[in-house]
Structure 1
Amino acid sequence: MKRITFLCCLLAGITSVSQAQPFGKLVKQTPGIVSYTMRDSFGKDVPGTLDKIKAWGITNIEFSSLFGKTASELRALLDQRGMRCSSYGVSYDAIDQKPDSILQNAKTLGVKYIRIGSIPHKGPATLDIIQKAAEVFNRFGKQAKAQGFMFCYHNHGFEFQPHGDGTLFDLLVTQTNPDLVGYEMDVTWTYLPGQDPAKLLTKYPNRFRLIHLKDVAKDVPHSDAGGMPNEKSVVLGTGQIDWPAVLKAASKSSIEYYYIEDESKAVEQQVPQSMAYLKSL
């Protein structure tokens, strides 16, 4: 009996040590996933999709839609599976015009971050658009902080228009209060407009809090459009992004959560491959 007890304790210790090991040298924890990656599956079966994601070893999700559920219903489904929503994506108009309902949903979901994916625009970014956005971000950021949340803006490419000695994105960063407004880097929508994601992370090490890990096929040209055909979203490490450089810079920044974002229709094959790549680094 003593020998059996000893072996059980030994096995438990091995399991504990294994679980404590880092995910990879450059990504310390198992990355999360953006709900948009599984948008088609979530649109048909939310519980089944959560089970599928958890089977990949992912328990942290950034939701940009509730997929027909209330915030409380989605929270219950996550809790049942030992999963969490750490970031809640909403629209620019929502934070500007109905902040109270956004904050209530965020509280129900138990998130730490509230983010928006872009600023409404019909053409290139302008000084007026960026200055107005800075005002909206500071105002909502103050409301979010009062409720215990951090607001983040997810760049979408068009913000990198030249301005002065830098870009309009630089202006947005300088005109927003660092205590109230953080940023979520979309690596592809930083790289395609001609920016170096690693250098931008190094330039603003304390402003980025979240990051979308998304790669782009090698034949996609540079553009600030913030869009590409779905099939051009490829397995991490097989496209144009220098991931070791990006992740090394990210590890020295204030980024807390990493999320895999795959816009392709082959996500069920590609996401596990992307995770394997990250773990190998």
Structure 2
Amino acid sequence: MIKRRDFLINSGLALGALAIAPSFAFEAKKKPIGIQLWSLRDTLPGDVKGVLTQVGKIGFSEVETFGYSVSKGFFGTSVPDFKLMLDDNGLKATSNHFDFNSVIKDGNTDIVKTYIETANHLGSEYITVPWILPELRGTTADDYKKLASKINEAAALCAASGLKLAYHNHDFEFIKFGNTTGYEILLNETDKKLVDFEMDLYWVVRAGYNPIDLFQKYPRRVKMWHVKDMDKQNHDFNAEIGTGAIDFRAIFAKAELSGMKRFFLEHESNYKPNPIESVATSFNYIQKSLL
């Protein structure tokens, strides 16, 4: 199903031999290491306070949320209480993954106003579209253009409240439409003044594409990254950062070209080791080897 899935295995992303420029290394050290809390999905819902304490002790300073409910907040924790827990552990929710499927389905943006209120209470910068249901993704180039239009509409609401909207990809956006892809249609059809992109590096690689090529074609459009490695033997699995098949040194060397302002470590599919210990291992690799 996935074409060219071996594209980056041992390839060094074609530019892997390039050294990280000293000027970039200086800038990168200023960037905090964030975590997409989905990495801790097995434990977070049952112990929000305890897990956030663990996240803070590892050394993270930013988080990206998931699982928000209008009626239940974050796993039964109200937004004000969740904010206090973040503050107590030196954490800031700079980005939030909110469910946009109802917005995509019927065009009703009322729920976006609730997302905006929550994000502003948390002191966030971004509201992020995380995933679109299969039945809502569309199968034609025109479908992706319509999707871009709805994203623009939601982004305008965010901008009016001092927030930015970002779009997070998986691999389905890379379906081909002639000489382009769904992802490129979204890049071209969304308003670059209103909409940023959060590139999930793992899913780009798994779809058979080189993130650096996209940075070069769409410079400074990708403001956030998900840093997630690919198991060398089974590409359906993730690996602790630095132990898998993706050459992150080459990617981080192109952060300025990407426009990357922040990134979030993430462990996602079929991930077996102890979650918090594996997150700590990935954090240490990023801190010591990429920044």
TM-score bucket (shorter structure)? 0.7 to 0.9
Alignment match, 2:100: 92
Identify if the C-alpha distance between structure 1 residues 220 and 197 changes in structure 2 by more than 3 Å, giving closer, same or farther.
farther
Alignment match, 2:262: 257
Please give the secondary structure, in 1, of the residue aligned with 2:63.
strand
The higher radius of gyration belongs to 1
Within the alignment, does 1:57 sit opposite 2:70 as a pair? no
Alignment match, 1:181: 195
Within the alignment, does 1:163 sit opposite 2:177 as a pair? yes
* Cα displacement (A) at 1:135: 1.0
Please, what TM-score do these two structures have when normalized by structure 2?
0.80
Within the alignment, does 1:244 sit opposite 2:249 as a pair? yes
Matches within 5 A, 1:5-84: 27-28=28-29, 29-65=31-67, 66-84=74-92
Distance of 1:94 and 1:60 partners within structure 2: 28
Task: Work out whether residues 125 and 158 of structure 1, in 8 Å CA contact, stay in contact via their aligned partners in 2.
Answer: no
Task: Work out whether residues 26 and 247 of structure 1, in 8 Å CA contact, stay in contact via their aligned partners in 2.
Answer: no
Identify if the C-alpha distance between structure 1 residues 128 and 119 changes in structure 2 by more than 3 Å, giving closer, same or farther.
farther
Amino acid at match of 1:39: R
Q: Deviations over 1:37-88 (max 9, x none)?
A: 1112211111111110111111210001222222212112112222110001
Alignment match, 1:16: none
Matches within 5 A, 1:116-265: 116-122=129-135, 125-221=139-235, 228=236, 232-263=237-268, 264-265=271-272
Distance of 1:253 and 1:39 partners within structure 2: 29
Q: Deviations over 1:231-264 (max 9, x none)?
A: x211112111111111111243221111000122
Alignment match, 1:272: 280
> Which is further off, 204-213 or 25-34?
25-34
Give every structure 1 segment of 4 or more consecutive aligned residues whose post-TM-superposition deviation is greater than 6 Å.
none
Identify if the C-alpha distance between structure 1 residues 129 and 79 changes in structure 2 by more than 3 Å, giving closer, same or farther.
same
Distance of 1:184 and 1:125 partners within structure 2: 22
Aligned length: 251
* Cα displacement (A) at 1:220: 2.9
Distance of 1:190 and 1:124 partners within structure 2: 19
Alignment match, 1:4: none
Amino acid at match of 1:280: S
Please give the secondary structure, in 1, of the residue aligned with 2:77.
coil
Give the percent of matched residue pairs that are identical in Structure 1 and Structure 2.
Answer: 30
Task: Work out whether residues 211 and 251 of structure 2, in 8 Å CA contact, stay in contact via their aligned partners in 1.
Answer: yes
Please, what TM-score do these two structures have when normalized by structure 1?
0.83
Alignment gaps of 5+ in structure 2: 1-22, 68-73
Task: Work out whether residues 209 and 255 of structure 1, in 8 Å CA contact, stay in contact via their aligned partners in 2.
Answer: yes
Q: Please identify which structure carries the higher helix content.
A: 1
Q: Deviations over 1:187-218 (max 9, x none)?
A: 11111011101221222222111110000111
Distance of 2:85 and 2:165 partners within structure 1: 25
Alignment match, 2:127: 114
Distance of 2:28 and 2:116 partners within structure 1: 30
Alignment match, 2:7: none
Alignment gaps of 5+ in structure 1: 1-21, 222-227
Please give the secondary structure, in 2, of the residue aligned with 1:143.
helix
